[in-house]
Amino acid sequence: MMNKRKRAVAILGWSFLTPAMLVIGIFVFISILFALYISFHKVNLFTGYFEFIGLENYKRIFLDSKTRIAFQNTAFFVAVVVPIQTFLALVMASVLNSKIKGKQFFRTVYFLPTLTSSAALTMIFMFLFSLTGPINEIALKLNLIKTPINFLNDAKFALKVIMSMNIWSTVPYFMTIYLAALQDIPKSIYEAADVDGASSIHKFFKITVPNLKPITTFVMLMGIIGTFQMFDQAYIFSNGSGGPENSTMTVALLIYRNAFGQNNTMGFATALSIVLSVVILSVSLIAKKLNNSDSLY
């Protein structure tokens, strides 16, 4: 009787799991295997043309100059944006978790950029940094510059504008995560520090930061994954070209251009996607190791 009951429970459990397993199997595992298969071929999906070329697509990644530029731009983007957005999110969360007046109002205002679409934010920042935009006007009035700077079409500034936009739009989201985590730190620790005469800076670095290490690991990993996959902002900013002078060409944008551009080099785009996945995984594991924190998973 007991065996029949266990068998019935097992059948019921597998019946609930089967739909999810089918979806994951088809759209994740089979898709990964098919992507690996494509990466070793010269492919035209529109005509159904497949030609096995071995490791040629992977060799091209290391020989192609535009691919090298895309990886350099993406690495620079990650190295600058992730630490800044993590630090700012932690500082803002700590301030808004304190006893300052109007913190509920500031929490709402700071979170608004997260509710705005990435496309809309990109258009707003393109206006702000245009030749006749507010940034140039303010800089001219303050005598910081003599002539307007063409931020959007100057290779020295284009990627940095996207960086500033990305930081501004992602910090509120990570700030909210930190705010939730700060509620779990016992207030008695801060009260004991107050009795010992600790300053706000000491409490921040000696209490807040160590207690939030697992959250910081999570925020960093999410930031690394998001910045390595940055596509829509670069696409809108450069109208899909990666310009000016390939200064906004990211790996994700290069994958799109090769997969759906006029060249239709889907095999190379797939190989590039697989390499990017390996890079993201490697950098994420290194960041987690350096942070020396327990995983949240």
CATH number where 278 lies: 1.10.3720.10
Q: Angle at the Cα of 7 (from 5 to 11), degrees rounded to 5? A: 120
161 and 270 co-located in one domain? yes
Judgement on whether residues 212 and 275 belong to the same structural domain of the protein = yes
Please indicate, yes or no, if residue 51 is contained in any of the structural domains: no
Cα–Cα distances (Å) from 3 to 7, 10, 12, 171, in that order, read: 6, 10, 14, 54
On whether residue 44 sits in a domain, the answer given is: no
Q: What is the 3-state secondary structure (H, E, C) of 100-146?
A: CCCHHHHHHHHHHHHHCCHHHHHHHHHHHCCCCCHHHHHHHHCCCCC
**53 within domain boundaries:** no
27: containing domain? 2-39
Q: Which amino acid is at 108?
A: T
Do 25 and 66 sit in the same domain of this protein? no
Per-residue tens of pLDDT for the chain, all 297 residues: 557 788 888 888 888 989 999 999 988 899 889 999 999 988 877 777 888 988 999 999 989 899 999 999 999 999 999 999 999 999 888 888 877 777 777 777 777 777 778 888 888 889 999 888 899 999 998 888 888 888 888 889 999 999 999 999 899 899 989 988 888 888 888 888 888 888 888 888 888 888 888 899 899 999 999 999 999 899 998 888 888 889 999 999 999 988 887 666 889 999 999 999 999 999 888 888 877 644 443
Token pair in block for residue 272: 């590039």
Contacts 24+ apart (CB under 8 A), 134-140: none
The phi-psi region of residue 255 (left if phi > 0; otherwise alpha if psi is between -120 and 50; otherwise beta) is alpha
49 inside domain:
no
- Total of domains in the chain: 2
Residue 297 lies in a domain: no
Residues 71 and 117 in one domain: yes
Positive or negative, the CA dihedral 228, 226, 261, 248 is negative
User: Do 63 and 126 reside in the same domain of the chain?
Assistant: yes
Please check whether residues 93 and 17 belong to one and the same domain.
no
